[in-house]
Every structure is written in C-alpha cells, then in structure tokens.
Structure 1
Amino acid sequence: MLRAAWIAQELLTTFEQELTEVSLVPSKTGGIFQVRTPDKLVFDRKEYGGFPEPKVLKQLVRDAIAPQKKLGHSDSTSE
C-alpha cells in the first residue's frame, strides 16, 4: 500500500491539471495494482510482473490521457 500511495502522489503531482481523482482500493488478496482511465486499463502489475518505474508509468498515463504533455526528465530516453 505504501508504494501505491507514493505512485498515486507522483501521478497527482505530474498530472495536476489532467486528473480529477486517484483512488486506492485495498485488496484482501494483495498484489493488485492497476491504473485505469474511465475507458481503458493503462497498467496492470500482474501483466507487467511487478511495479513499474515511475518514469514508465508516467509515460503510459501521459500517452492515455494527455499525449501532448511534456514530462521533462521523464521523457528522457537515457537512463
């Protein structure tokens, strides 16, 4: 839950103008981490095999909700 909360904060900070809500829903089974828009599953931890790097998740969210948005250092291709 701690990592999910941190990633939610990262998304809210990065997409301050584009997001109206980020919700965290606890699960009794654990291990579920999904990022969705109203009409699309953007990221699923189960399919990815773990938590994404914030840079990767921000790029995926940007591509889904605000393709024109620049992400600064998160757009950099160098590691």
Structure 2
Amino acid sequence: MKPTIIIEYCPKCNWMMRAAYMAQELLTTFTDEVHGITLVPSEVSGRYTISINDEILFDRKREGRFPEIKELKQTVRDHIAPGKSLGHSDR
C-alpha cells in the first residue's frame, strides 16, 4: 500500500497556505509513489510537522525552522522511493 504523507500545521499561526504549497510540491513530485497527502489543522499552537506512517520526518519546533522544499523532497524520497531521481533537486 502506498504511504500517506501528513502535514500537521497550526491554523492560528496562518500556516495553512505553507502546508498547501508543500503538499502541492510533494504531490507533483511523488504522484505515483503516494496514496495522498493529508493536511491536518493542529490543536497544538505552533505545530508544523510532516510525517509518513506515524514517523515524523520534519518537526519545525525540533529544527527551529521550516524545511526548504528541496530538503523536504529529498527526505520524503529517501523514505518512500530511494531510487527516484529528483532532477535538479538532487544537485
């Protein structure tokens, strides 16, 4: 079964558009590799996490920043499609 990526974001911090943008980028890159991407408004203030199958790949609080899209694509690729080329995102 293909994995589902979950982006949990703080709606009070107005991070829905950022989450939607990242979801769009991931869906464009991993169309054939994922079941889908779910955006989840968090009840925890300041939360912004990206996970696959309950494994957190990126946590804004832990990292102290948001992920760069290139970095996020590489991290997701390494978890779901290690052999996939990301073209210019690999350079």
Whether the TM-score (by the shorter chain) exceeds 0.5 is yes
Do residues 46 (structure 1) and 66 (structure 2) align?
Answer: no
Partner letter of residue 10 of structure 1? E
Q: Which residue of 1 aligns with 2:90?
A: 75
Alpha-carbon distance, 1:39 to partner: 4.8
Partner Cα distance (2:52, 2:44) in 1: 23
Alpha-carbon distance, 1:4 to partner: 0.7
Larger strand proportion of the pair: 2
User: What root-mean-square deviation, in Å, do the aligned CA atoms of Structure 1 and Structure 2 show?
Assistant: 1.3
Describe the shift of the 1:68–1:44 C-alpha distance in structure 2 as closer, same or farther (beyond 3 A). Answer: same
Partner Cα distance (2:55, 2:49) in 1: 11
Q: Which residue of 1 aligns with 2:70?
A: 55
SS in 2 for 1:50: coil
Identity %: 57
| Structure 1 portions without partners, runs of 5+ | none
SS in 2 for 1:22: strand
Partner Cα distance (1:74, 1:23) in 2: 23
Which of 1 and 2 has higher RCO (CA within 8 Å, sep 6+)?
2
Runs of 4+ in 1 over 3 A off after TM superposition: none
| Structure 2 portions without partners, runs of 5+ | 1-15
SS in 2 for 1:55: helix
Partner Cα distance (2:69, 2:46) in 1: 18
Do residues 18 (structure 1) and 12 (structure 2) align?
Answer: no
